[in-house]
Structure 1
Amino acid sequence: MIETLDLILPLDASEDEVAWKAAAAKKLGVPASRVTGVRLLKHSLDARQRAVKVQLRLEVAVDVPLPAEIVPTWSTPPLPANARTAVIVGCGPAGMFAALHCLERGIKPIVLERGKDASARRFDLAPILRQGVVIEDSNYCFGEGGAGTFSDGKLYTRATKRGPVARVYEILVAHGAPQRILTDAHPHIGSNLLPNVVKAMRASILEGGGEVRFQTKVVDFIVDGDCLRGVITAEGEEITGDAVVLATGHSARDIYRLLAEKKILLERKPFAVGVRIEHPQPFIDAQQYHLKKDEERPDLLPAARYAVATKIDDRGVHSFCMCPGGFIVPASTENDEVVVNGMSLARRDSPFANSGLVVTVEPEDTDSFSKEHGVLSGIAFQKALEVAAKQAGGGGQVAPGQRVADFLVNKVSADLPKTSYFPGGKSSPLHEILPKGIVRRMQTGLKLFDRKIRGYAGQEALLLGFETRTSSPVRIPRRDDTLEHPEVRGLYPCGEGAGYAGGIVSAALDGMRVAEAL
């Protein structure tokens, strides 16, 4: 027989197949000699008690061979000669997965990306880190793979109702992602591995008959009555297709402005802004794994993560994109701003842990910008904070910073603790620069979180500003049935920038869903 079993084992058995077989045999009530094979289906940790346990879901074979493991692959038949075309603007997860799924459905994708390919893009990160100079179309946000390429590569999602999450993981594994993402409860890839994955996905798009064009910035739309026929690039080239999938991500603000200029319907939506909070990783390990003073984290345990959330005066205050063993990086896309974000490598072995700490901003909170900016008031709100961060930092990509303990009492820090943020921080009154409502809620939230994670608001905790690109303040509306824009035929808003996703997996799912609608 073949059985699927859920087991709870001590940590030291987490990688021990002999222990798995023995535990499976005991649960099934058969001799261990009859267990002919086990295969890991799901792996997670339970760190609620001091003795950390491992929770396993195993496929177990008794008296029969274990079926051969199915290795994920991706392939597609040749495109028909009369294949329809989809112009896909943006080569992030939404755009790339839309392109792959278009090929599966016999549609030719033409992917346009303003930035560079992943290999060339890597070299453009040095100026922003070392000289504080942003290359505005090739940076941590723009380029092959989108903002996700140089991030933690977190794949954990609650978007299970939006589509086949497992298929997204399988496609990533088929293109070189570690196979463990199929079994880990909180899978991630790491920014050192993601570039090769997205390059392999690009190769699949090309081999399937699609096109991928880098350094091809869209600056205008070709609109014929109520139908979008194609786009115009910065070089003046007109590229037309049977549909245009707009998957540009939430940092392509020029696209929002273009839509507004063309009188194409947009909507304001909630978003969140705040800071990056950074702690020593050993502190987070000690708190989450209940370690004794000076006790090191066991090798079998990954760098600990956390999630905190509360609601204060009808606004959420929560952690965002937590990066254990990670780095804070500059995510600016223009040279008059400072924006921070987090990333980590596959090993997650940095001595620091960082997370966004953000407060929800509702559309009415940006009304002071509405008179001048209309539906783009949320973007103006974000931009004002980013420019203020640049001015407070004093130049380059130096970020304004404050110790949490000082932030709670509205005091400028005498100095700042060590940080993973390469451009560095400058002591600044974040409590004066941020809007009062955000400061008040963040301060209250920090005090609450300190009760959950003792020392979370301690003297070694650092705040760096500002985390503003959590999601888009604008939604590009679309019909529920066709996923087309309600007023412009042929326009398919897609992914995080359109307001329909919130991370790599949900963006990938939305890309697949839009391609299916096509």
Structure 2
Amino acid sequence: MSSPLASSAQEIELLLPPEQAYDELARYEALLAAAGLRPGQADFVHLRKRSVDARGRQPLVRLRADIYRQAPPAELFGPWFTFADVSQARRTVLIVGAGPAGLFAALRAIELGIRPIVVERGKDVRTRRRDLAAINKEHLVNPDSNYCFGEGGAGTYSDGKLYTRATKRGDVQRILRLLVQHGATPDILVDAHPHIGTNKLPAVVAALRDSVREAGGQVLFGTRVDDLLITENRLHGVVTATGEELTADAVILATGHSARDIYELLHRRGVLIEAKPFALGVRVEHPQQLIDQAQYRRPDRGPLPAASYALVHQTQVDNEQRGVFSFCMCPGGFIVPAATAPGEVVVNGMSPSRRDSRFANSGIVAAVELRDMDLRQHGPLAGLHLQQQIEQRACQLAGNSQKAPAQLLGDFLKKKTSSQLLETSYQPGLVSVAMDEVLGATLAERLRQGFANFGRKIPGYATNVAQIVGVESRTSSPVRIPRDRDTLEHPVLRGLFPCGEGAGYAGGIVSAAMDGERCAEAVRAVVGA
């Protein structure tokens, strides 16, 4: 299939050894040769897609490129988007949350002629760094500014992976181009599994916010929502923690999957919400070299990117089947503390842009279904309470700090407490704990079955060269805020547009961004401009 920009181009696809594919001159010459051309006979070579094919005896890199014998179209290089001034717009939308769903909803609202007011409980992306340092070094968790809360949301300081399977929910290339226009590397338009990196994403997020403000929108930090302004089943604004009332024609709720106080507020105010399945487990940490050797089958990876993996296994415990799977795999990355309140321990993974850490880590989690939760006592907040119980137990067993409970993987499989642990990328530190005590017998057994299966797929994986760190509990929202399939508006509370991961409709940066855009379009359809 040809690119819309490739009408005057010759499309070439070929496989190259890594050393040739990642060398700019060698790649250029190989692509020209495949097109039957010599250097100087093409005006421009546009690399459109790059992916590693490691299925054979030796890994190869698959390239797809457009070769222009004359000048390529200007549209190829951008800028692709402009934002008109909406400071005097007739309609306003209040957007709660400045993660990818909220920021992209704001930019799309501007394109549609609506003035966005974005409120974020956390701090701006630069100031937020001090609170992250306090978690790592002093074990102090700020409930409003941490790895989950603050400008850019959970993805800003957790990884920055941009791969999504949710291609039917929106225009993935549009999201990627918006990111490139705001400072992301153009490689994300090319790589099959694009990644910005947690060291570079903050500047991109700040640029997105600047675009909102320059077009006449507002972005307010340190503004936590404590109540809702509801009249006759219509939401027309919010009340902040300082008592200020903010009103708008519609409210897009894009708070992310960890805003538990928002779920509790909705439940307390009688707004319809639902419990939903999610997943719980641990982070597993390996030497990156082990994963590289297993995936690439060569003594070193050379110019290839740090290798990743995706694993899944169906387990059976107490006659109940549940999937166990890898989640948010971070090659060349770090494990980070992702708690949002004192008294809990939560872990997540991140990778810098170069993915050059000595460690690989991944969430390994088991599905939690509705029948696994105590719905009778906690109703739609049952999953939230289950998360809290395990996170608080992890904190208590590890000594009531941000040190995380951990166990060597081989010892976990043998139900043996580890006498010592390995070096780790997790800065607050680890405490040796029998992870069954943290997870409970059923969840631990599911993970054991999963790890045993994964060890048969990747040599050396399920041994004491690896360790598991707990708990990986914020995989997705345990609550869904329902919305009409067509209008995206809440079915009972008019004016409310649930959005992104926190509402249960996305699962990553790109899918959240696309959902934010869809919600802005839905607001435009309901309230006009």
**TM-score, structure 1 length as denominator?**
0.96
CA separation in 2, counterparts of 1:140 and 1:21?
Answer: 41
State the distance in 1 between where 2:263 and 2:288 align. 38
Aligned to 2:238: 231
Give the 3-state SS of the residue equivalent to 1:487 in structure 2. coil
Where does residue 442 of structure 1 map in the other structure? Answer: 447
Partner of 1:327: 334
Stretch deviating more after TM superposition (119-128 or 485-494): 119-128
C-alpha offsets along residues 461-497 of structure 1, whole Å, 9 cap, x if unaligned?
1001100000011100000111000001000000000
The one-letter code of the counterpart of 2:424 is T
| Map of 1:198 onto structure 2 | 205
Distance in 1 separating the partners of 2:501 and 2:438: 28
Instruction: Letter of the 1:53 partner, please give it.
Output: L
Give deviations 1:85-105, integer Å, cap 9, x for gaps: 101000000000000000000
Could you tell me which residue of structure 2 aligns to residue 462 of structure 1?
467
Please tell me whether the aligned partners of residues 21 and 37 of structure 1 are also in contact (alpha carbons under 8 angstroms): no
Match for 2:313 among 310, 314, 329? 310
Per-residue CA deviation, residues 356-405 of structure 1 (Å, 9 max, x unaligned), is 000000011012xx333221000000000000000111121011100111
1:342 aligns with 2:349: yes
Q: What is residue 173 of structure 1 aligned with on the other side?
A: 180
Partners of 2:82 and 2:106 in 1: how far apart? 13
Which shows bigger deviation, 80-89 or 128-137?
80-89
Q: Displacement, 1:81?
A: 3.1
* 1:20 CA drift (Å): 4.0
Equivalent AA in structure 2 for residue 179 of structure 1: P
1:97-144 superposed Cα distances (whole Å, 9 cap, x missing partner): 000000000001100000000111001111111111101101111000
Give the superposition deviation at 1:82: 4.2
Q: 2:331 corresponds to which letter in structure 1? A: P
Query: What code does the residue aligned with 1:509 have?
Result: M
Measure how far apart 1:445 and its partner are: 0.8
Asked if the contact 1:49–1:290 (Cα under 8 Å) also holds between the matched residues in 2, the reply is no
Aligned to 2:68: 61
- Give the Cα–Cα distance (whole angstroms) in 2 for the partners of residues 283 and 114 of structure 1: 41
Distance, in Å, in 2 between the alignment partners of 1:193 and 1:10 is 29
| One-letter code aligned to 2:421 | L
Q: Which residue of 1 aligns with 2:219?
A: 212
1:285-300 map, 5 Å: 285-291=292-298, 295-298=299-302, 300=303
- Structure 2: distance between partners of 1:88 and 1:372: 32
Count of residue correspondences: 511
Matched, 1:415 2:420: yes
Match 1:108 to one of 115, 118, 129: 115
Show CA shifts across 1:263-284 (max 9, x none).
Answer: 1111111100000000011111
Contact 2:337 2:345 in 1 (8 A): yes
Task: Give ranges in structure 2 of 5+ residues lacking alignment.
Answer: 1-7, 524-529
Change (3 A) 1:386 1:54: same
Are residues 1:10 and 2:17 paired?
yes
Give the C-alpha shift of residue 80 in structure 1.
7.0
- Written as runs of structure 1 = structure 2, the 5 A alignment for 1:109-508 is 109-291=116-298, 295-298=299-302, 300-313=303-316, 314-367=321-374, 370-508=375-513
SS of residue paired to 1:146: coil
Cα 1:33–1:193 shift into 2, 3 Å: closer
For 1:212-248, what per-residue CA distance to the aligned partner results, in whole angstroms no more than 9, with x for missing partners?
A: 0000000000000110010000000000000011000
For residues 108 and 33 of structure 1, what CA distance do their matches in structure 2 show? Answer: 49
Match of 1:76, as an amino acid? F
1:152 CA displacement? 1.4
Q: Retained in 1: the 8 A contact 2:274–2:380?
A: yes
Q: In structure 1, how many angstroms separate the alpha carbons of the residues matched to 2:291 and 2:25?
A: 32
Query: Which residue in the other structure is 1:88 paired with?
Result: 95
| Distance in structure 1 (CA, Å) of the matches to 2:178 and 2:36 | 38
**8 Å CA contact 2:89, 2:113 repeated in 1:** no
Deviation at 1:23, TM superposition (A): 3.7
Q: Secondary structure at the match of 1:454?
A: coil
Q: Deviations over 1:161-211 (max 9, x none)?
A: 110000000000111111111111111011111111111011000011100
Greater mean deviation of Cα atoms: 325-334 or 45-54: 45-54
Kept in 1: contact 2:292–2:306 (CA 8 A): yes
Q: AA paired with 1:91?
A: A
| Cα distance in 2 between the residues matched to 1:465 and 1:82 | 48
Matched residue type, 1:498: A
Q: Which runs of 4+ in 1 moved over 6 A?
A: none
The one-letter code of the counterpart of 1:161 is K
Provide closer, same or farther for how the CA distance between residues 136 and 409 of structure 1 changes in structure 2, counting only shifts above 3 A.
same
% identical equivalent positions: 55
